Structure 1
Amino acid sequence: MVKIDDSVWGKEDVTSSKGMKDENFPVGSFLIAPIHRPIVHHYYHFARVADDMVDNVSLTSEEKKARLVALREVLLGLREAPNRADAQSAAKLRQSLMARDLPLSLASDLITAFIMDAEKNRYQSWDELLHYCRYSANPVGRFLLALHHESEETLEASDALCTSLQIINHLQDVQSDLNKLDRCYVPLEWLNEEKVTLKDLTLARSKPGVRRVFDRMLAKVDGLNTKAKRLPSLIRDRRMRLEAAVIVNLCVQLTNHLHYNDPIEKRVALTRKDGVYALLKSIKYFSVSA
C-alpha cells in the first residue's frame, strides 16, 4: 500500500457543495430501503468528488488525473487516505462495498470515465459516446442492482436506462459544458454532416442543422428508453422496482421535453409536476410480482 502522500491531492479539496437534491433524478430516495441508503449515499459522494475534481477549471489535466488515480487507489486499497473529505469518500465507499461483498469495480469504473474527461473533450462518433457511457453511467445502475441482489437479466435494460440518462444530461448541458469546460459530447461526425460547428452550439438558439443533430441523438435515446421500459418488470425487490419505474418514467418525460424544446435557448429540465406524474404512473410496480 502506498503511504499517505498529501501532495497528490493538492492544497484544497475541490468538492462542491452540490448534493443529492441537486440532481435531475432520485438518488438514494425514500423509495430505497433504509438499510441500503447509507451505502448509496457513500457511492454518490464518491462520484460527486470525482466529478468535481475533473470539472474544476483551476486544475490542469495532469493534476486532475493524479487526483483521480489516487482516489481509485484508495478505493482499491492501494493507497492510504489522508484525513480530508475527498480522499475519505473513497475509503468509506471501499468499506461499504466490502462489507456487502460487492465488486469494487462498480465504483472504480466511474474513475475510468472521469479520466477520459480529463484527457479529452470531444467525441467523434455515437459509438465513442456509448463507450464513454459504459463507464460514466452504466456502473451506477449495476451497483444498485447488485446491492439488491438482482439477476443478470436486468443488466441490459439497466445499461440502456443509464446510457439514456447520461446522454439527455449531455443535451441539457450542451452549451454550459462547452462554454465552461470546453467539453462537448455531441458526435462531431454528425455536426460535420449537417455542416454546423461547435461555435453554433454557443448561439442564442439552435440552427436547423444543430436541431437535426439533436433529433438524431434523441431518436437513439428513444430506442434506449424502449429497452429501459422493461427494467421494472425484471426487478424482484419491490422498493427498487418502484424506484426504477419512477426513473424510467422521468427519463421518458425529459426526453419528450427535449424533443419539443431547444436546450440551446434554455436549459430543459423536469418539473415538480413531472415528478408527481412519474410516481403516480409507477406506483403499480410496488404491488405486482416481478
Structure 2
Amino acid sequence: MSTVDPRHPIARRELDAAGIEGAALRESYLRCRAINAAHGKTYFLATALLPPAKRPFVHALYGFARRADDIVDDTAVPVAERGERLQAWCGEFLADLDWGATSDPVSRAVLDTVTRFDIPTSYFVDFVEAMRWDLDVTSYATYAELEQYMWGSAAVIGLQMLPVLGRRDDAVRWDVLESHAIALGTAFQLTNFVRDVGEDLRRGRVYLPQESLDQFGVDLERLRRGVVDEAIRSLLAWEIERARGLYAKARPGLALVHPTSRDCLQAATTLYGEILDEIEHNDYDVFRRRAHVGAGRRAAVGLSGLRGALRARRHSVPEPNPPTPRS
C-alpha cells in the first residue's frame, strides 16, 4: 500500500514531470516524498518551491539521509543493535549503489537519482561513515574535528543536491558553486547543533566543540544542569555567530544556481537562519524548549518564495549540463 496516495494530483504531477515511470520506481519516490513531508517541515516547504520535475529527486535524497538518521537516533534500541542495523542497511545500500539495482523501497529512488544526475558515490560513502561516528563518538575536542564529521553528515548532502538544482549558466564554475554548497550544508547542521543541545545531551552526545566549552568555562556537568547562565549564553552566542558566518559565506551561491532553484534555497536559508534568532529570543534556553519558526512565518516565507518561483519558471532558460562531477 502506498505511503502517499498515487492519485494525489501534486504527487502524480511531480512524477510525470520528472519522467519517472514504472510502478515500483514511482512507489519508491512516493515513499521518499512521504518521509520528507512527515519529518522535514522546512525542507519539504522549500522543496515545494522547485519545479515539479526537480522535486522527486530532492525527496529521494532526503529519504536516504532520514533513513540512516532514524536508525542512529532510535534510543529505544541498544547502541550495539543500532550499530548492527546501520551496518546492515548501509552495507546493503553501498553494495546496491555499486551494483546499480536494489529491492529496497527507499534506496530504489536514490539509486535512480544518482544515475540520472551522475552524483559521485563517494558522497554517500562519506555520509555513511559520519553516521557510524554517531554510534561511537559522543564529543569533539576541536571545531576542526567537528568539521570532519559535518563534512559527511551535512556538506556532502549539499553537494548531492547541486546537480539537481542546476547552475545559472556555463560561466559559473562548478568548484565555486560547491564551496557555497558546503558552507550552506554546514550552516544548517551547526544550526541544528545549537538548537538541539538539550536533546543531544539526552542522547549522550555533545556537538559543541570542547575547545568552545573551555573558552567560556562550561563543562559537561554544567550543560547537564540545563541552567542558562552567562557562561552558557556566551558559549551559545559564539556558536550562533559561527553559524551566521557560514550563512554569509554561502549566500553568494544563491545567485549562482539556476533561477528556478533559487527560491527553494532562499526559503530554506531564511527559515533556518531564523532559528538562530529564536534561540536568542528565548534567552538561549536550548534545554527546556526547542526553537522553531512558527507556522505563520513559514507560510509567509513560503508564499513569497512561491511568487518568485513562479516568475522564475515563466522566464527560465534551459539549464546547462553540469561538468562531470569529481568521484
In structure 2, what is the Cα distance between the partners aligned to 1:216 and 1:145?
Answer: 30
What is the aligned partner in structure 2 of residue 73 from structure 1?
91
| Structure 2 unmatched runs, 5+ | 1-33, 168-173, 318-327
User: What is residue 261 of structure 2 aligned with on the other side?
Assistant: 240
Q: Is the alpha carbon distance of 1:24 and 1:219 closer, same or farther for their aligned partners in structure 2, counting shifts above 3 Å?
A: farther
1:87-123 residue CA offsets vs partner (Å, 9 max, x unmatched): 5423442233124332223333221211110111111
Letter in 1 for 2:267: V
Given that 1:75 and 1:94 are in contact with CA atoms closer than 8 Å, whether structure 2 keeps it comes out as no
Per-residue CA deviations over 1:151-185 (Å, capped at 9, x if unaligned) read: 33222122111111111111111111111x11110
| Distance across 2 between alignment mates of 1:157 and 1:101 | 20
Distance in 2, Cα, partners of 1:91 & 1:75: 10
Once residues 88 and 273 of structure 1 are traced to their aligned partners in structure 2, the CA distance between those partners, rounded to angstroms, is: 34
Change (3 A) 1:75 1:242: same
How many residues are aligned here? 269
**TM-score, L = length of structure 2:** 0.72
Q: Is the 8 A contact 2:47 2:58 kept in 1?
A: no
- Aligned letter for 1:208? E
Q: Given residue 259 of structure 1, which amino acid in structure 2 is its aligned partner? A: E
Correspondence for 2:189 among 166, 185, 209? 166
2:58 to 14, 20, 40: 40
User: 2:217 is paired with a residue of what secondary structure?
Assistant: coil
Identity %: 24
**TM-score normalised to the size of structure 1?**
0.81
Q: Which residue of 1 aligns with 2:118?
A: 101
Moved more, 133-142 or 25-34: 25-34
Q: Distance in 1 between matches of 2:301 and 2:183?
A: 19
1:153 correspondence with 2:153: no
Q: 1:230 maps to which residue?
A: 252
1:215 maps onto 2:232 in alignment = no
Which of 32, 47, 51 matches 1:29?
A: 47
The match for 1:131 is 148
- Describe how 1:267-286 pairs up with structure 2 within 5 A: 267-279=290-302
Classify 1:284/1:37 alpha carbon distance in 2 versus 1 (closer, same or farther; 3 Å).
closer
Q: What's the counterpart of residue 220 of structure 2?
A: 198
| Structure 1 residues 88 and 104, CA gap change in structure 2 (3 angstroms) | farther
- One-letter amino acid of the structure 2 residue matched with residue 122 of structure 1: S
| Structure 1: runs of 5+ lacking an equivalent | 1-16
Tell whether the 8 Å contact from 1:142 to 1:155 is kept in structure 2 after alignment.
yes
Residue 51 of structure 1 pairs with residue 69 of structure 2 = yes
> Which residue is 1:177 aligned to?
200
Distance (Å, rounded) in 1 between the aligned partners of 2:90 and 2:81: 14
The one-letter code matched in structure 1 to 2:88 is: A
Task: Tell me: higher relative CO, structure 1 or 2? Use CA pairs within 8 A at least 6 residues apart.
Answer: 2
* Aligned 8 A contact 2:271 2:298 in 1: yes
By how many angstroms is 1:46 displaced? 1.6
Distance 1:242 1:60 in 2: 41
Q: Give the deviation of 1:189 after TM superposition.
A: 2.1
How far apart, CA to CA, are the structure 1 residues paired with 2:247 and 2:55? 26
**What per-residue deviation string (whole Å, max 9, x for no partner) do you get for residues 231-286 of structure 1?**
211112x2211101111222322222223322224211111233244346655575
Counterparts of 2:188 and 2:302 in 1: how far apart (Å)?
18
Q: Secondary structure at the match of 2:179?
A: helix
Distance 1:40 1:284, change over 3 A: closer
Aligned to 1:76, the other structure's residue is in SS state helix
**1:257 has 2:274 as partner:** no
Conserved? CA contact 1:133–1:166, under 8 Å = yes
One-letter code aligned to 1:245:
Q
Give the partner amino acid of 1:159: I
AA in 2 matched with 1:119 = D
CA distance in 1, matches of 2:41, 2:193: 12
* Alpha-carbon distance between aligned partners in 2 of 1:235 and 1:19, rounded to the nearest angstrom: 22
Structure 1 window deviating more from structure 2 (141-150 vs 182-191): it is 141-150
Bigger CA drift: 70-79 or 109-118?
70-79
In the other structure, the counterpart of 1:12 is none
* 2:37 is the counterpart of 1:20: yes
How far, CA to CA, are the matches of 2:235 and 2:192 in structure 1? 16
